Structure 1
Amino acid sequence: GGSAILNQDSPYFDLLKKRALQAGVDNISGFGKAAAADVRLVKMALHNTCSCVSAKVFGDDVTFKLGSPGEHVVMNTLSVLAAIRLVDADLALAVLALASLSPPKGRGVRVQLSARDGEFLVIDESYNANPTSMRAALALLGRAEPKQGGRRIAVLGDMLELGENAQELHVGLVEPVDEAAVDKVFACGEMMAAFWHHLPPFRQGIWKATSGELEQHLLDDIRAGDVIMIKGSLGSKMGPLVEALKQRFGVENKAA
């Protein structure tokens, strides 16, 4: 008995479905962009601080605003809609609530701070990181629009526990950094060293072994108009960099 909600876009969907059936699950639903998905993304408009989404939920048309930005959040929300329908809860009330969705600490919270000559924006993604979430965060940075004279700055720490392919997976971030039109990269950690050295010189801010060693270099480089995204695994200790920025420049407000 029971239900399973699976990502229909995953290359492992068929395997997961097979395993679910073997485990005795008798109600399997799929979500994603695939035409066969029970909860299917029809259209999305991605913005700096929100997304507008149209979806088919078990055949019904649903349109809603999502208060937290990013395609990855949109896709996760589709699975939530599937669960709501499966337990026969009020779908209309649920999609209204999604408009006020906000990210938890360290997972995309935006904080506006004041430099000497104006404000800058920090996107706090410091709680954790893996290759998929790192690419999603870089895509968010790419959609952010720095104010006049500002830059897109990525501050990246090691993604931990990736096994024997760790270095290759870190170097693989060069492409999404380029796609996001990042102006400058600060990096720390053993694995991030290889990534940083593969960047073109004009993007290289500085690399240090630890986030603590990186801190002062970052603080001294900030200027008005910048958009700064900070991300790494929890063990890379990127959160203290966010706190250092707040202490140095003072918390103005969470960005709308």
Structure 2
Amino acid sequence: MSVIDDAIVWLNDPLNWTNPDGIFARLGEHLWISAAAVALGCAVAWPLGVWMGHVGRGGPAVVTVTNLSRAVPTVALLTIFPLTAIGFGAPAIILALSLFAIPPLLANAYLGVREVDPEVRDAGRGMGLSAWQLLRKVELPLAVPYLANGFRVAAVQVVATATLAAYVNGGGLGMIISKGFGLGLASGGGQVLAGGALVALLCLAVEGILALVERALLPKSLRRVKHRPPASAADALPARS
């Protein structure tokens, strides 16, 4: 049989879904690790990005952080943290993955607040709004589409990257692929292909669901003009604040 046939046979085996280390168990681990990493990234990046956008400072720093994140080897970062005092396990993996989630979250939060029309800000100040009220009632609501866009990008990126956690015994769907390689491609090639297909389908599902949520959060007035935050907010950031 071909590798594709082997993958179909492997996926059609009920035991591969329900075993303690089967697809359902690994999927639960994958989603938990990814969700925790994105949540940690949001807790760090959103307040910082919103504040920097509100005061209009830190644009070059955001660009630098975003560009540096593209140069950091994924496997290296996932390997370094387990070798520290944190040790092996979910905490080290979550911390490493959160560092990949922070750049898109930070860039979109900063850009979302900076993209608010200055005339809207002036109108808010003219109504007597304080700086905090202006941020809470004017800037944040208008920045929601950018925040949602950054969340979607970060979530898909983390879900895809979490597959590599298997190299440090971090769990997730990557364990299926890792075990397939351990069997050798001659006998485990189908399992490797099946694991890769599951990760790809999960990323597509996360992308589709969050894209629908992002569209729902977009104000109707902006939908009519087909407004959409840029796919990479970092590319739209100014060189200077």
**TM-score of the alignment, normalized to the shorter chain, above 0.5:** no
TM-score norm. by structure 1 comes to 0.26
TM-score norm. by structure 2 comes to 0.27
Who wins on radius of gyration, i.e. which is larger?
A: 2
Of structures 1 and 2, the one scoring higher in RCO (CA 8 A, sep 6+) is 2
* Higher relative strand content: 1
